[in-house]
Amino acid sequence: MGLIVAALAVASWLYAGAPGLAPGTVSTLASDLGLSHAAVVAPPSADVATLADEAHLSAAGKALFYGTNPKILGAQAFAGQCGNGQVQHSLSADSTVGCFEQGSNSIVLYEPADPRLHGSVVTSAAHETLHAAWAQLTAAEQSTLTPLLSAAVAAIPAADPIHAQIAGSVGTHPDHLPTEMFAYVGTQVWHPGGLAPQLEAAYARVISDRAALVAVYTGWNGMLEKMATDIQAASQALVTRQTANAQSQAQYQADAASVDYYRKAYQAKVAQVAAMPAAQQARLELSWVWWDGTKLPMAPANVTLARAKDLLTRDEAALPAREAAIQAEAAAITAEHTRIQGLVADLDGLQNQLDPSASTR
C-alpha cells in the first residue's frame, strides 16, 4: 500500500487546478469527493512549476507542492515568514530558508539573489514538500519509518553538517525530529542502491529521481566547498611564494653587499699595484678567493686582477636582473593577494546570501 493515500494525492492535484479544466471544475470535483471544505488553490505559476521539475518531484509530489500555494521570496519579503516554532523548516548558514506550516498547508521558500545559489531553493522546495508528505502519513507509517530514518542518520559521519542542520531545525520541539530527518535525509543523503527499501518507497511517492535531487544539493553545496578549498590552496601557495621571495630578497641584499665590498677591494688592490715600481709589479704574483667562492690561483698580478675584473663585471651585470625579478615577483604576489581577497569576498557574499537575515542587514 502506498504511503501517501492515493485519493489525497489526486485531491491535492485537483485543488492545484488541472490543465484544461473549465473554471469551477476543481471546486465541483472536490465537492464530489467530499472535500469541499478544502481550499481551492490557483494553478502553479511558471516559476513554481519550474521549481517542481528542478526538484524532481513526482506527480504526487507536485500535487502536494502546488497544493501548498508555495511562495518563493527574496530576502526582504521572506523576513518574518518562518518565525513560528511550530512550523517544519530547513536551515542553511544557521538561518531558516524555508518552512511548511501544516495547519495552513503552506510552504514559504527563500531564494538568494545570486543565480549560483538557485540550487538551494530547489533543495528547500523538495525539503518542505517532504514535510507535507510526512504530515499525510498515518501514525503507523510514521512509526515504521522513524527507526529507519534514525539508522540512516546514525550512519552519516559525525562531521557532516546534516547533524547540526537537523538539530537546528528541531530546536526545542523534539517531536519534529522524525519529519526533519525525513526531509533532510531525502534531499541530502544518497548511497548507490538507495537506503532501506521501505524508506525509498516512501520517498519515491514524492520524488521521481532522488539521486538527481541529492545531486542538486551536492552541486551547489559542493561549489561553495570548492571555492573554500581553492581559496585555502591559493592562500597556502601565496605564503610559499612570499617566503621564497623574501628569501630571494635577503640573499640579493647579502650578495649585493658582497659585490660592493669586493668592488672596493679590487679597486684598492689595483691602486696598490699601480703605485709599485714597474720591476716590482713584474715580479708580483697574487691569488684571490672571490666572494662567491670562485678561486683565482696564484698568477702574475696583472693576470689575477684581470680575472677579478671579469668576475666583477659579471656580478654587476647580474645584480640588476636579479633585483628586477624579485620586484616583479613581489608585484605578482600583491596581485595574487588581491585576487584571493576577491575570492574570499565572493564566497563571503554567497554565504551571507544563504542567510536571509544577513542579506537584509
When mean pLDDT is compared across 78-92, 179-193, 268-282, 323-337, the lowest value belongs to 78-92
Structurally, at CATH architecture level, domain 227-359 sits in Orthogonal Bundle (1.10)
- Listed residue (189, 144, 145, 143) closest to 166, CA to CA: 189
Provide the greatest CA pair distance for the chain: 132
pLDDT at 82: 83
pLDDT at 333: 98
* DSSP annotation string for 87-100: SEEEEETTEEEEEE
- Listed residue (316, 229, 218) closest to 266, CA to CA: 316
User: CB burial class (10 A; 0-12, 13-18, 19+) of residue 250?
Assistant: exposed
Q: For CATH 1.10.287, list the domain ranges present in the chain.
A: 227-359
Q: Where are the beta strands (DSSP E) in 8-94?
A: 71-73, 88-92
Per-residue pLDDT tens over the stretch 271-327: 999 999 999 999 999 999 999 999 999 999 999 999 999 999 999 999 999 999 999
pTM above 0.85, yes or no: no
Report d(CA 298, CA 206) in Å as an integer.
Answer: 94
